[in-house]
Amino acid sequence: MKKKIILLLLLLIPFNVFAYSDKLIISGTPVGIEVYSKGVYVIDFYKVNNKYIAKDAGFRVGDIIEEIDNNKVSNIDELNNYINKVNTYNFKINRNGEYKSISLKVIKENNSIKTGLYVKDKVSGIGTLSYIDPNTKIFASLGHEIYESTSLSKFRLESGYIYDANIESINKSVNNDIGELHASITNKELGVINKNEINGIYGKYTDDFNSDELVEITKADNIKIDNAKIRLSLNDNKDDYDIKILSIDKNDQVKNIFFEIIDDRLLNKTGGVVQGMSGSPIIQDNKVIGVVNYVVVDDVKKGYGIFIEKMLEEGDRLLS
């Protein structure tokens, strides 16, 4: 008698499996940020022989030059190397995701070649290191994307680095005038930036780190409308400052935790949320719940944070 063999098939249902750790290194330390663009940004124009030759040719602020005469352009040095004589050059530019061709005749003036273009190929600043995953060495910062300031568009990242930084002074925030942290950035490289996303910048941490003090993460469902803390290092002093969580929004992409600073120690130092504080971890009941990312301009004691799990899921995609 033949035995019946029943093959039990596992029903394959799509689901997300994340590799991030359930405990993170949470420091709240300042970092210098330097990112390089995919191509060269047009940021302004200047006159050549009393004419805006580049603007008249069709260039706009925010255009990204990617090729000149079919030669790839990654930075300003390459642009200058290709444009080395009086000639008409064909530029391939990226404008809001669409490619266009522009012909520009450059002019020699005062023994130098003039394009009529002001350009840049990198952005630098400071932020706060949000976390390091001790197992994957993935780090995150800011909790929001880096913008190209002249066009107010998302910066198209080619590469980037984070560096050790030290807070030297603080310009306090007042309502309708956002302050900032001023820092000196050293040449000590801490990590490589691989992604610039709406919810932060991400990469691999390459320097040594201490994983003795780990903080457990918690899900959005466990966050309470109650007191919490912001972890921040100011003047080499790491501390946790009291905030009050006012509301939770699970639907917004990045503004999930609405809070108010209630700690006089921090208010006396910063006046409220300041530029450079983006990325500061938010901790409740000794667990990390999110990261500071925005300030309320007309009430600078208040700000927003993004859920930590959103950043972890984004950072985790680096592994794939």
Tell me the pLDDT tens digit for each residue of 6-22.
444 444 434 445 678 88
Question: Does some domain include residue 8?
Answer: no
Of 86, 115, 144, which closes a domain?
A: 115
Same domain for 288 and 158: yes
Same domain for 301 and 193: yes
Same domain for 93 and 185: no
Categorize the per-residue pLDDT at 319 as very low, low, confident or very high, splitting at 50, 70 and 90. confident
Question: Does some domain include residue 9?
Answer: no
The pLDDT assigned to 237 comes to: 76
Query: pTM for this one?
Result: 0.87
Categorize the per-residue pLDDT at 238 as very low, low, confident or very high, splitting at 50, 70 and 90. confident
Question: Does some domain include residue 291?
Answer: yes
Question: Does some domain include residue 14?
Answer: no
Residue 71 has pLDDT above 70, yes or no: yes
Same domain for 164 and 27: yes
The pLDDT assigned to 10 comes to: 41
Same domain for 134 and 108: no
The pLDDT assigned to 18 comes to: 63
Residue 5 has pLDDT above 70, yes or no: no
Report the percentage of the chain scoring pLDDT > 70: 93
Residue 105 has pLDDT above 60, yes or no: yes
The pLDDT assigned to 17 comes to: 55
Segment 270-299 mean pLDDT: 97
- Per-residue HEC secondary structure of the chain comes to CCCCCCCCCCCCCCCCCCCCCCEEECCCCEEEEEEEEEEEEEEEECCECCECHHHHHCCCCCCEEEEECCEECCCHHHHHHHCCCCCEEEEEEEECCEEEEEEEECEEECCEEECCEEEEEEEEEEEEEEEECCCCCEEEECCCCCEECCCCEECCEEEEEEEEEEEEEEECCECCECCEEEEEEEEEEEEEEEEEECCEEEEEECCCCCCCCCEEECCHHHCCCCEEEEEEEECCEEEEEEEEEEEECCCCCCCCEEEEECCHHHHHHHCCCCECCCCCEEEECCEEEEEEEEECCCCCCEEEEEEHHHHHHHHHHHHC
Same domain for 170 and 105: no
- Lowest-confidence segment of 9-18, 26-35, 189-198, 292-301 by average pLDDT: 9-18
Task: Enter the tokens of residue 313.
Answer: 């899921």
Same domain for 58 and 202: no
Same domain for 131 and 89: no
Question: Does some domain include residue 41?
Answer: no
Segment 41-57 mean pLDDT: 95
Range of the domain at 87: 47-115
Same domain for 88 and 230: no
Of 84, 115, 146, which closes a domain?
A: 115
Categorize the per-residue pLDDT at 148 as very low, low, confident or very high, splitting at 50, 70 and 90. confident
Categorize the per-residue pLDDT at 101 as very low, low, confident or very high, splitting at 50, 70 and 90. very high
Question: Does some domain include residue 6?
Answer: no
When divided into structural domains, the chain yields a total of 2
Segment 267-293 mean pLDDT: 97
Domain of residue 100, CATH code = 2.30.42.60
Same domain for 276 and 221: yes
Domain of residue 281, CATH code = 2.40.10.120
Of 59, 85, 115, which closes a domain?
A: 115
Same domain for 76 and 32: no
Measuring CA to CA, how many Å separate 21 from each of 1, 18, 158, 291, 294? 53, 9, 27, 17, 26
Same domain for 226 and 135: yes
Question: Does some domain include residue 5?
Answer: no
Question: Does some domain include residue 82?
Answer: yes
